Amino acid sequence: MLHSSQQQRGCDSTSCFAGKGKLKALKMLEGDQDHQDTFSRIGTLETISGQDMQVIETFVCQLYGKSSHTSVDKVRYDKVRQCFKGKKGILSNPEGVDLSQMPPCQDVLMLHTQELISR
């Protein structure tokens, strides 16, 4: 059975940070005061600021091993590009591509963050 928010969006699956354990995220939070401040504020907000969203996006980039990135879309692009590296064309067989191992795109990350706030 689908969650009502999934039905409204036409989504038939629940996205998550596949393969990213809670311990890794917790250790990352413990090591960064900006992340702690932002995540502790989420439950008290009615809307999320651009600055808070950027902190969350940077956190997700770090969660996926790209600490130099601040854009989840760039992380996704780099992962796809890496899978096709050395291939003759974009339609060649992308061996090893597991879309469940990619971070959410920026729009989906924003949507999920807004859902957290509206609960």
Are 110 and 24 in contact by the 8 Å Cβ rule? The answer is no
H helices present in the chain, as ranges: 4-9, 22-30, 33-41, 50-63, 72-84, 106-118
Distance CA 59, CA 66 (A): 9
Would you kindly state where each structural domain of the chain is located, as residue ranges?
22-84+97-118
Are 106 and 37 in contact by the 8 Å Cβ rule? The answer is no
Q: Give pLDDT tens digits for 11-63.
A: 444 456 767 778 888 899 999 999 999 988 887 888 889 999 999 999 999 99
- Dihedral pair phi/psi, residue 108, rounded to 5°: -70, -40
Q: Is the pTM of this model over 0.85?
A: no
